[in-house]
Amino acid sequence: MTSPQPSEIPESARIPSTLRHPRALHFWLAVVLTGVATGIGAALLTKLLELVQHLVWRGSPTDILSAAQHAGLPRHVLILLGAALLIGAGQLLLNRLSSGNGIDTTQAIWFNAGRMPTLRTLGSAVLSVLIVGMGVSLGREGAPKQAGAVFANLFSDKERLSDEQRQLLVACGAGAGMGAAYGVPLGGALFAIEVMRGKLALRYVLPALVTSLIATAVSWLFLPDAPTYVIPSFTVTASVLVWTLVAGPLLGLASVGYVRMITWADRNRPQGWRRFTAPLIVMGLLGFTSYWFPQILGNGKDLSQLLFSSQVAPLLMLALLFLKPAAVALCMRSGAPGGMFTPSLTAGALLGGVLGIAWSAIWPGTPPGLFALLGAGAMIAATTQGPISAIVLLIELTGQDRAFILPLLLIVCSATLIARTIEPRSIYDARLTNEQIAERQRLRDLPSQ
């Protein structure tokens, strides 16, 4: 499905810029309802993840790493094998709900006017929360993103929105899901329009802000209003600024490899009877390895916190630099559903930390945590191809504003430029064909309505 050019879209079908616009009230009612439903959905999914994590690991509902460090090898293996069985059974059930190989929000937004199968998408969201809570090495934000997109699609039907309006609202719902899950309303709004919708057009900004604001405010009724990462106060020095000029291009190149690895894994998900055997093999291996390296379990939030606080030994950091991304790719290759935001952030933190430790041998004095934080920002920007949203997300996730903004801007710009020059895909474009990537770029280049 190809979107029409702006001149071909009637005024009543365009994104309303004022309340005087035809059918504006219908559009804004859908925006408000999407925000409320997404906030409730994100809170429920987060609570479900915490409950599963607490029950299976017998530890803190928000800290899988501490619980896994005190669990024996049999428990590691059995929990992950249980996740494998759940993945196989869940995929079988999802295939019965609707045809197709999976749910891809990006593809739906760009090439199906945001239309998504409701039951299959929500089922995939719940399945991803269950298995991530059990330790599968994927992100938890995929579930609230999918839920937000589904709610937007449902309310678009209810209010009889045009395809153009639905397309934007589904992107706003996905961004609001991330905003509500992580407590980052501004970052969620920018993620919606820069990454999911692909255009920073003025008409898109207000709907994205309102949806994400409402969703986050509603989620705060159930979830704590606190930064995701608690970091120390960093001092920016000349050493850090020079390091960003060197490390930025390297992180951009690494991001290209990371995106291509994720693309390979997503495109080669198992089919047929391999949907049951592949998860058993991968999760068994993950469970066995996680006994010695529990940091590879889950989405990587706990590991990132340790990296930002300079609490990971250099040799362990180097080992995890290879193990964690490999675990993420293999989990996706096995057919497990899940998000990619926090795993990508963690991969960047690991690479930034390793490069920073090497740099400190030449120019000492900077804590590894600052290098890890800057590496995380660069990797998120380059792998999502959303530099503005990445900067704002990192500021909101840490609750810091000016402590590291200058080196963050430098490293994000250079890493994103290198990545875009080599690879047009982001981590959310894995299932798009080369033809679809070219068509999407053509649509992005059209004048905004």
For residues 182 and 167, give the distance between their C-alpha atoms in angstroms, rounded to a whole number: 23
Give 354-398 pLDDT, tens digit per residue. 999 999 999 999 999 999 999 999 999 999 999 999 999 999 999
Distances (CA, A) of 99 to 85, 121, 190, 205: 21, 12, 32, 34
Q: How far is CA 277 from the centre of its chain?
A: 27
For residues 266 and 106, give the distance between their C-alpha atoms in angstroms, rounded to a whole number: 14
Q: Which of 439, 437, 318 is nearest to 385 (CA)?
A: 437
Q: Where are the alpha helices (DSSP H) in 2-141?
A: 24-57, 64-69, 73-97, 105-111, 118-133
Under the banding of pLDDT at 50, 70 and 90, the label for residue 448 is: low
Q: Is the pLDDT of residue 409 over 80?
A: yes
Predicted TM-score (pTM) of the model is 0.93
The residues, any chain, with a CB within 8 Å of residue 53's CB and separated by 6 or more, are 59, 61, 62, 64, 67, 133, 134, 298
141 vs 1, residue with greater confidence: 141
User: And the tokens for 339?
Assistant: 């998000």
Give 265-299 pLDDT, tens digit per residue. 999 999 888 999 999 999 999 999 999 999 999 99
Cβ of 81: how many Cβ atoms within 10 Å?
A: 17
- What is the torsional sign of CA 286, 287, 293, 295? positive
Q: Which of 359, 328, 309, 311 is nearest to 258 (CA)?
A: 328
Give 177-226 pLDDT, tens digit per residue. 999 999 999 999 999 999 998 887 888 999 999 999 999 999 999 998 88
Give 58-70 pLDDT, tens digit per residue. 877 778 898 899 9
Q: At 144, phi and psi to the nearest 5?
A: -65, -30
Calculate the average pLDDT of the chain. 91
Q: Does domain 238-445 have CATH number 3.40.50.720?
A: no
Share of the chain above pLDDT 70, in %: 95
State which fold the 6-219 domain adopts: Clc chloride channel (1.10.3080)
For residues 28 and 163, give the distance between their C-alpha atoms in angstroms, rounded to a whole number: 15
Under the banding of pLDDT at 50, 70 and 90, the label for residue 102 is: low
Share of the chain above pLDDT 90, in %: 73
Domain boundaries in the chain? 6-219, 238-445
User: And the tokens for 393?
Assistant: 């997300």
